[in-house]
Structure 1
Amino acid sequence: MPSGRFTVQAQEAIVFGQPAGSALLAEADRYGAKRVFIISTRSLSRLENGPLQRIVKALGPRHVGTYPAVHAHSPREDVIAAAAAARAAGADLLVAVGGGSVIDATKAVQMCLWLGLESVEAMEPYRGGVAADIRRQIEPPDNPIRMVTVSTTLSASEFTPTSGVTDTKTQAKQSFSYRLLVPRSVILDPAATLDTPEWLLFSTGIRSVDHAVESYCSPLANPATEALSLQGLRLLSLALPRIKAEPQNLKARLDAQFGMWQAITPAAAGAGSGASHGIGYVLGATFGVAHGHTSCVMLPAVLRWNAAVNGERQQALSEAMGSPQKKAADLVARLVAVLDQPGSLRAVNIKRENFEEIAERAMTYGPVRMNPRPIKGPAEVKEILELAW
């Protein structure tokens, strides 16, 4: 008989299929927010009439400032700088406009504002895995400032209470987790993805495929999570090629957003992930591989390596992708290729001489230790890397 725990996130609303500007204004009204501060990226800030510009226009005088400089993988320095800008602006609501790096950074900005953290060093006691003698709990004040997201990619960070932030001194991805770090409201406007570069949209789409696959294959999966994983995979495997063929198809883009939402929910609820995610953290934080590309190159290899213990379970993945007679790893690899994304470690400039460091670092991440086929040490990680080579 299954037993476990399904964690429900501290979110109040997920608004979909509406223009982001009007949807955000309605959410700001609902929360009584008068001073809205936006966190985004330089690439979005340079557009003439992109999602950021439309949101600023919709907010009117409620917009009190923008920090438009979050870099990939959410460096601690960017978190501290954005928090300082939001603090100086007297913000009462934060809005992340962008993809996973922006959303993760904004989650951590909330923590910095709650706790009065003003330096990268001040963040250290609150990260996951810190030494017990310096560890401190995140304890927000009464009525803490919260955030709303407007997603421009398919990374799905907006559905979790964990912020992945990079310590640039160690080049390690670190986590900061607390239930109220999850965005209070999520806005899924398919038009907000129209200006996203194709490579970024599709690579983060494969990241969401990774969420679906690894949560379904997780030892912690259960009947409540399995249906969501498979539905997310089904939606994504249909919608992503359709977007490739018809870039202006808003329904396909919304279907992909629904897919990423369904795919991430099991992982956020407690099913977790596996080696593709864990190795991907190393590739991203240490070697600068784009967030979504880590899944493009690692997921097929991890599926092949895991097939020795969960081949029958992978059959359900093939069925969800519409080809039950084919191997799930081959179907994912084909989807990556159809979307013109990199399909090997060589394609993202990883060298064989990097394997030892990747394998050693990967063993420090929880998802590697949760992989459905047990990974006992760096040697097994290197077997997976060879399959991805």
Structure 2
Amino acid sequence: MHQGRVVFGAIEEVVFGHPAAGAIVAQMDRLGSNRAFLMVSGTLSRQTDEIEKIKQALGSRCAGLFDAMPAHTPREAVIVATHAAREASADLIVTVGGGSITDGAKAVQLCLANGITDIDGIDRIRVHKGVAPEMTAPTVRQISVPTTIAGGEFSAIAGVTDRATHVKQMLRHPLAVPRATILDPAITVHTPEWLFLSTGIRAVDHCVEAICSREAHPYADAQAVKGLAMLADALPRVKADPSDLDARMDAQIGTWLSMGALAAGVPMG
């Protein structure tokens, strides 16, 4: 007889196959948000028109923009982004980019809610010996438009790097997960091939870990097995034809499924 529990996280919606700009506006309408702070990929911001299209769609509801998050989400950049979001009086953070930007916004949410103003303050909200400290829940939440497929946009965990120790540290809060994730395959065509495909292998890893976990259950297995099948089919198709949006969409949905077991409480590793 099966025994266990399935935990449903605080993500409210996943929108897939719709252009990002219109989907962001629709989510802001749904949430009643009026001041969106954009945390976006520097490459997308400076080398494509994707961010400009989003800014134009938001109009006066775009309260600010941060496009300088380095890889691995260093504390220093988190604090700069936090100050900018606070000064913009943001009521929503919108991320467009990879995992470092998604994680950065999760950290900014917690910094805003807990009055963190410098890099040392992050020690007050980070996980110590596997235990997250008591903290104020974020009220300025995030919606995410991912451009890679490692799956962090479906997780309530963020990794932030302490450059003094060269260690990536964990931040965790149930409301750190985005309120909504928007899967737009068209915006991922700008992602370097090596990055898109390697993050896809990370999603494959999530599926395999879930299937092999001793605490797996049918609900989690159904998502992990289907996710693995979709990723195994889609990733070679993206490699063969980078312009194949159907393949990219399948890879994104496979990634969403790959995170189902982890979100449902199945231990990894």
- TM-score band by shorter chain is over 0.9
Return the alpha-carbon distance in structure 2 between the equivalents of residues 31 and 125 of structure 1: 30
Pair 1:77-2:72 in alignment: no
CA distance in 2: counterparts of 1:116 and 1:183, whole angstroms: 20
Alpha-carbon distance in structure 1 between the residues aligned to 2:22 and 2:175: 24
Displacement of 1:272 after TM fit? 2.7
- Cα deviation, 1:297-317, whole Å, max 9, x if unaligned, reads xxxxxxxxxxxxxxxxxxxxx
Unmatched runs of 5 consecutive residues or more in structure 1:
275-389
Q: Secondary structure at the match of 2:121?
A: helix
Contact 1:47 1:53 in 2 (8 A): no
Q: Deviations over 1:91-135 (max 9, x none)?
A: 111011101111011001000111111111111022112598xx7
Among 141, 147, 163, which residue is 1:168 paired with?
163
Q: 1:138 aligns with which of 135, 139, 152?
A: 135
CA RMSD of aligned residues (A): 1.5
1:344-359 aligned within 5 A = none
Q: What is the match of residue 258 of structure 1?
A: 253
Identity %: 46
1:186 to 181, 185, 188: 181
**Aligned with residue 218 of structure 1, among 213, 216, 236:** 213
Matched, 1:267 2:226: no
Cα deviation code 1:233-256 (max 9, x no counterpart): 000000011111121111111100
* Corresponding position: 1:61 with 2:60: yes
Q: Which amino acid aligns with 1:176?
A: L
How far apart are the structure 1 equivalents of 2:200 and 2:53?
Answer: 24
Q: Distance in 1 between matches of 2:129 and 2:80?
A: 23
Is the counterpart of residue 238 in structure 1 residue 233 in structure 2? yes
1:152 counterpart letter in structure 2: T
Q: Tell me what 1:334 maps to.
A: none
Structure 2: 5+ residue stretches without partners: none
Check whether the contact 2:221–2:261 (CA below 8 A) recurs between aligned residues: yes
**Which amino acid counterpart does residue 164 of structure 2 have in structure 1?**
K
- Give deviations 1:196-233, integer Å, cap 9, x for gaps: 11111001011100111111111221111111111110
Larger relative CO (CA 8 A, sep 6+): 1 or 2?
2
Quick one: distance in 1 between partners of 2:151 and 2:87?
Answer: 29
How far apart are residue 48 of structure 1 and its match?
A: 3.1
User: Partner of 1:272: helix, strand, or coil?
Assistant: coil
Asked if the contact 1:153–1:196 (Cα under 8 Å) also holds between the matched residues in 2, the reply is: yes
**Contact persistence 1:36–1:95 (CA under 8 A):** yes
Structure with higher Rg: it is: 1
Matched-pair contact (CA < 8 Å) for 2:110–2:125: no
How many Å separate the matches in 1 of 2:90 and 2:197? 33
Aligned length: 269
1:8-19 equivalence runs, <5 A: 8-19=8-19
Q: Contact conserved, 1:41 with 1:102, CA < 8 A, in 2?
A: yes
State yes or no: 1:37 paired with 2:37. Answer: yes
